[in-house]
Structure 1
Amino acid sequence: MTNLPKTIRENLHFLCAEIDGQLLQLEAFFKEPTIARARRILERAGYAHNLKARIHAACVRQLANTRKDNRKHLTLRSLELVATDLQRIANLARQSLRHVERIDAFATLLPERYPAVVRSVRKGVGKIENAFFDNDSKQAIEIGELQKKIETDYRKLFKAYTRDMGNPKLRPADIANSLLVANEFQRMGDSLNTISEALISANIGQAVNLERYFSLQSLKSDLEGAGGGLKIETIAETRSGSSVSALKNKKTEEVAAVFKDGEKSKVREERAGVKSWHEIYPGLAPKILSYEKRDQSAALLIEHLPGTTFEHIVLNGSEEICKKALASLSTTLKDVWKQTKTSEPAELGSMQQLAERLDEVRRIHPEFKDPATRFAGQKLPCLDELVAEANAREMKVSAPFSVYIHGDFNVDNIIYDPDENRIHFIDLHRSRYMDYVQDVSVFLVSNYRLQVRDRDTRHRIMRLCLDFHKSAKAFARKHGDDTFEFRLALGLARSFASSTRFIFDKQLSRRMWLRARYLIEQTIACKAGEEARLRLPMKEIFVD
């Protein structure tokens, strides 16, 4: 961190010294409470705020000339977090004194227990400069570990105060304010944990929390044991909260593996999905190199697959490579469906899924709250009413067989290797036996919703959708699936409408919303028992 401006280094030093001084006064106050000591702490609010503001201003000036993918950018952002939480510790110290002022019987607070807690906070603050400027992740981790000690002390105080609630000699208000004091110190521990994660992120050049750091270091060592230093680069952050990073060889820039972490249940599902694909249809899914779990999180080290995502091919590939990728995908899917096909009927449940997501959609697009209206003397039902009616119809129409599906068949979850002319699947935590229309509809809409306005690219997307639909429909016809188009209409409606919660573009969202309504109306207009006769005008649906 030696390349940071002198003003940033100096102000961080002054800020750490200022917070330590205020905490020292607070420690002395609990040993010997006096008005003078309390005043010295309460009157120092402005200086800490000014130091934090100077650090933020200096970071903003530096960020203006730094690319987002530059490591210095993450360092400056981390420094902003450190400064913010240092000032927050000072604010919490003052707030604890305000609670103390309302306590009549000072002994109720159990003041003799607090100096040790304050020393833990001071210890963390004292390690910040070395951890940051010396790239010392060991000290950064030690700062985060102090949060656990402070949490333990807080729980002991909480237990003591709640026990004292039954003591008639103590004022309830004194106990309540004592609990508030303890809570301020618990929050100081949380700030130390945030500072620790910011320091680690700056040191390794990758935004992480402590759990992710431990998992990353453990899995990274598995690869480095075979020789060669590795660096980490973020690839993506999923909507489910997982992070995906590439581990690259520092010298060759070759990707050695992919690191994915997140909530333990999500990662466990991903692991199970990959394993199931290896058993059911080997070669499609990547290999799992290592698995690590810690507390409530878990991580996977996954084989890096050659090739590019289908999304990249659609947006950037040549016409020839796009056709080859689609042909390979269609062939692979048909083979998967054929090999995994069972005689068990499958329920799609598209309208039930949509009904559960409408509130989330309308939080992003409140204009989609469409009450029933009248037009030319006719009542037009709102979408909710249409969904409920279509759901009743859908429950009576199931797929005649089940196949093993991807479950989240978006264009960025499909990898095409042009050298081997092979397809691979990633992000497999939703894989299961299901109606294959689920994957067909998600794939089609994930192409349509790509936010690109270039005319030629939009035409390519339309042609791709038409060709993919033609291939899937041919499979349905060959295997006696007469209601394929009816169920696809509902699947597309669900995907069109629910996908708008990920799109802020009002014009694109509106087009998708209207397509969803049109498709639902078409299924309702189809007479019961004649679902096999429904035909979708695919060109009109996917043209712009």
Structure 2
Amino acid sequence: MPIDEGLNIDLRFLILEVKKQARASASVVEKPSPAKIKKISVREHFIDNLKDTLESKCYFNIHREEEGQINHFRAIITIAVNLERCADFFISIANQMSHVKEPAEFVEFGLKRYYQVIYKAIDAIYPALSENNLELAQTICDYELVLDDYYNETAALIRAKLRQRSKVDDLLTLLAIAQYLERVGDSFLNIGEAILDIRLGEQLGILQFRNLQKGLASQNININDSNIQFKPIMSTRSGCRVARISMTAVDSVERALFYKEGDVAKIEDEARGLALWQEKFPGLTPKIVWHEAKKNSATMLLEYIEGDDLLKILINGGSRLDQAMEMLTKQQAQVWKVSHKSKVVKSDYVTQLLSRKSDIQSVHPGLFEASHGLDLMIKEARKIERQLPAPFSTLIHGDFNADNIIFQFDQQQMYYVDVHRSGYGDYVQDVSVFLISNLRVPLFSSEVRQRLNMANQRMYDCAASYAARQKDKMFQARLALGLFRSLITSTRFVFDKKFSAELIDRAKLIVDDLKAHEGKLNRFKINPEYFLYR
């Protein structure tokens, strides 16, 4: 996008002034004098005013422009703020030099090389922005690493000199100066990433951008292509960044990919889960298009599944709910049947609950106080749990919420997504998660609640029928324990105290009912009030 002429002039003046300050700072370091130090300080207010003017103009334009242009103005704000920060660092360096007794001794530390990199970075900012030059923007980011390396070398040399206990004050001042120069590099990183963010409209770091660029290149997609759209998906609690990436091919057919980036363990678990499902049930989960893990983060590109998730159907209504539940229950029964393994599985619902205790307490700090009796309930539940191993295992989703089930009705196809917790376990766990994730939906209109109740009843009936065929005599008791776990852990998503209290009351009812059947848990019967909202 061409830069507005007024902004164009202000930005170029700001870049020019900051480069002047960089040169003035280098001159002070080489040969300090009171006159030079005073002169560099005088320009501070002029630079501050330029930055403030740019910010004001950008904020004014942000409220008037389209989304793609808004990204441009946001980037200019980031550039202006970080340039002003660099100017402050240059002033601080000059002020530090006023305390130096022997500035000539600094020559061996090679501070000139810092400034040579700084000049290159400053010179690259305007062309990278105005020409939307992503390669040049990445180069600006890379200058941060160069300055980091210089700083590490300088700091190591200073530490060696300090051991000689000579000229300590000057050396400590030099260390402070080197730190300011290193922080200039941090500002360049922010500037380069801001220019990259214009392209996608999302704040990706340089490493994440390069991983995405590499992944797209593996699919013969150039990230520079103007028809690529990057649309973040906000509704995720996983801590991962997720987005829909779409592009239009020469034949006018749109292609879409699902982008996921985040913690290595979570992405690797997702890859493992997808491989597990593809092995047993090919086509029931998205295909991995590209995947790469590095030390601190991992990136994945998946086949993007168009369609309606079950939660959307439940909330918005429509005639598709009955069809969706018919497809889902048939598919689930098939999954349980095909993946059945005759291996006893130890129940660990209470352990799962306790692993989320700190998250629950962060939302409801007083929930585990003695007056609520929750710790006692959990102890009772653990005693009961020891009596309830699952007689066999099946492949389970692990995060079986309604929004992780997607339907394509025209193709009579459904998919499971977000399978990072998938593995072999007790099928009852998925059932309990499904039931309570619907129960905790914070919408209370009679129409929505009727649909949520219907979905829950259908899923319960499906699981109960499967349990009967398998002669799973403890199904009802294990399901109750799973519901107990999910009711309590769900409070970490519910800020409404009244609704949270209701969830806890249901959990208490379950424990009381289970205790009443100790020694005869095979006769325990689920109370529909556990998972239906009246």
What is the TM-score with the length of structure 1 in the denominator?
0.88
Distance 1:101 1:253, change over 3 A: farther
Residue 443 of structure 2: SS of its match in structure 1? coil
Note if 1:121 corresponds to 2:111. Answer: no
Tell me, in whole angstroms, the C-alpha distance in 2 between the residues paired with 1:253 and 1:317. 30
Larger deviation, residues 478-487 vs 458-467: 478-487
Distance 1:74 1:410, change over 3 A: farther
The structural deviation recorded for 1:505 is: 4.7
Aligned to 1:281: 281
Greater Cα shift, 330-339 or 201-210 = 201-210
Provide the C-alpha distance between the structure 1 equivalents of 2:382 and 2:120, rounded to a whole number of angstroms: 61
What does residue 259 of structure 1 align with? 259
- Counterpart CA distance in 2 for 1:111 and 1:346 is 68
2:77 is aligned to 80
Residues 1:536 and 2:533 are matched in the alignment = no
SS in 1 for 2:352: helix
Q: Which residue of 2 aligns with 1:302?
A: 302
Q: Deviations over 1:71-124 (max 9, x none)?
A: 223223233222222222233334445555566665676674222213322322
2:45 maps to amino acid = G
TM-superposed deviation, 1:460 = 0.9
Whether 2:16 is the aligned partner of 1:25: answer: no
The Cα of 1:189 is off from its aligned counterpart by: 1.6
Measured after TM superposition, the shift of residue 42 of structure 1 is 3.7
Contact 2:32 2:97 in 1 (8 A): no
Amino acid at match of 2:177: V
Which residue of structure 2 lines up, in the alignment, with residue 376 of structure 1? none
Q: Take 2:456 and 2:192, find their aligned partners in 1: how far apart are those partners?
A: 48
For residues 179-203 of structure 1, give each alpha carbon's deviation from its aligned partner in whole angstroms, at most 9, with x where no partner exists. Answer: 3333332222222112111101103
Given that 1:234 and 1:245 are in contact with CA atoms closer than 8 Å, whether structure 2 keeps it comes out as yes
Query: What does residue 144 of structure 2 align with?
Result: 147
- State how far apart, in whole Å, the 2-side matches of 1:349 and 1:109 are: 64
Secondary structure of residue in 1 paired with 2:193: helix
Task: Indicate the residue corresponding to 1:64 in structure 2.
Answer: 63
Question: Does the 8 Å contact 2:436/2:531 carry over to 1?
Answer: no
> Residues 465 and 98 from structure 1, CA distance in 2 versus in 1: closer, same or farther, beyond 3 angstroms?
farther
| 3-state SS in 1 of match to 2:110 | helix
Distance 2:86 2:432 in 1: 51
What's the CA shift for 1:167? Answer: 1.5
User: Which residue of structure 1 lines up, in the alignment, with residue 212 of structure 2?
Assistant: 216
Contact 1:215–1:294 under 8 Å retained in 2? no
Name 1:203's counterpart in structure 2.
199
Structure 1 position 144, deviation (Å): 0.6
1:520 deviates by: 4.3
Matches within 5 A, 1:31-110: 31-66=30-65, 70-97=67-94, 106=103
What runs of 5+ residues in structure 1 fail to find an aligned partner?
Answer: 374-379
Cross-structure match for 2:338? 339
Identify if the C-alpha distance between structure 1 residues 189 and 456 changes in structure 2 by more than 3 Å, giving closer, same or farther. Answer: same
Matches within 5 A, 1:364-383: 364-366=363-365, 368-373=366-371, 381=373, 383=374
Residue 405 of structure 1 and its aligned partner are, at CA, apart by: 1.1
**263-272 or 511-520, which moves further after superposition?**
511-520
> Does 1:457 pair with 2:448?
yes
Counterpart mapping for 1:216-235 below 5 A: 216-224=212-220, 230-235=227-232
Stretch of structure 1 that moved more, 304-313 or 403-412:
304-313
SS of corresponding position for 1:289: strand
* Aligned match of 1:413: 404
Comparing 143-152 with 42-51, which one deviates more in the overlay?
42-51
User: Per-residue displacement from partner, 1:203-247 (whole Å, max 9, x unpaired)?
Assistant: 344442222222222232343469x97512324254333222333
Q: CA-to-partner distance for each residue in 1:367-404, whole Å, 9 max, x for gaps?
A: x445223xxxxxx52x2343244234324422111111
Counterpart of 1:430 in 2: which secondary structure? coil
Q: Which moved more, 1:284-293 or 1:142-151?
A: 284-293
- Decide which of 469, 479, 484 is 2:475's aligned counterpart: 484
Structure 1 position 177, deviation (Å): 4.5
**TM-score normalised by the chain length of structure 2:** 0.89
Partner of residue 242, structure 1 = 240
1:377 is aligned to none
CA positional deviation for 1:137 = 1.0
Tell me the amino acid that sits aligned with residue 438 of structure 2.
N
Deviation at 1:154, TM superposition (A): 1.3
2:519 counterpart letter in structure 1: G
Asked if residue 160 in structure 1 is aligned to residue 137 in structure 2, the reply is: no
| CA–CA distance in structure 2, aligned partners of residues 7 and 236 of structure 1 | 35
Mapped to 2, the partners of 1:392 and 1:45 lie a distance apart of 69
Is contact 2:30-2:104 (8 Å) kept? Answer: no
Q: What amino acid does structure 2 have at the position aligned with 1:57?
A: S
Shift, 1:463, TM fit:
1.8
Please say which of residues 431-440 and 6-15 is displaced more in the overlay: 6-15
Which of 131, 134, 156 aligns to 1:134? It is 131
Identical positions, percent: 27
Report the more deviating stretch, 455-464 or 58-67.
58-67
Contact 1:26 1:118 in 2 (8 A): no
Q: Secondary structure at the match of 1:301?
A: strand
What is the match of residue 353 of structure 2? Answer: 354
Offset of 1:535 from its aligned partner?
Answer: 3.0
Partner of 2:459: 468
- How many angstroms apart in 1 are the aligned matches of 2:489 and 2:351? 12
Deviates more, 1:136-145 or 1:336-345: 336-345
Aligned-partner Cα distance in 1 for 2:103–2:497 = 60
Question: Is the contact between residue 30 and residue 112 of structure 1 (CA under 8 Å) also seen in structure 2?
Answer: no
Contact 2:517 2:523 survives alignment (8 Å): no
The one-letter code sitting in structure 2 at the alignment partner of 1:463 is M
Residue identity matched to 1:495: S
| Contiguous gaps of at least 5 residues in structure 2 | none
Cα shift at 1:411: 1.9
Which of 177, 182, 186 pairs up with 1:186? 182
Which is worse superposed, 9-18 or 193-202? 9-18
Q: Paired residues, what number?
A: 529
> Is the CA contact 1:30–1:111 (under 8 Å) kept in the aligned structure 2?
no
Residue 156 of structure 1 and its aligned partner are, at CA, apart by 0.6
Q: Which moved more, 1:506-515 or 1:134-143?
A: 506-515
Contact 1:59 1:80 in 2 (8 A): yes
CA distance in 1 between counterparts of 2:132 and 2:226 reads: 17
Contact 2:162 2:171 in 1 (8 A): yes
User: Relative to structure 2, which stretch is displaced further, 304-313 or 138-147?
Assistant: 304-313
Report how far residue 149 of structure 1 moved: 0.7
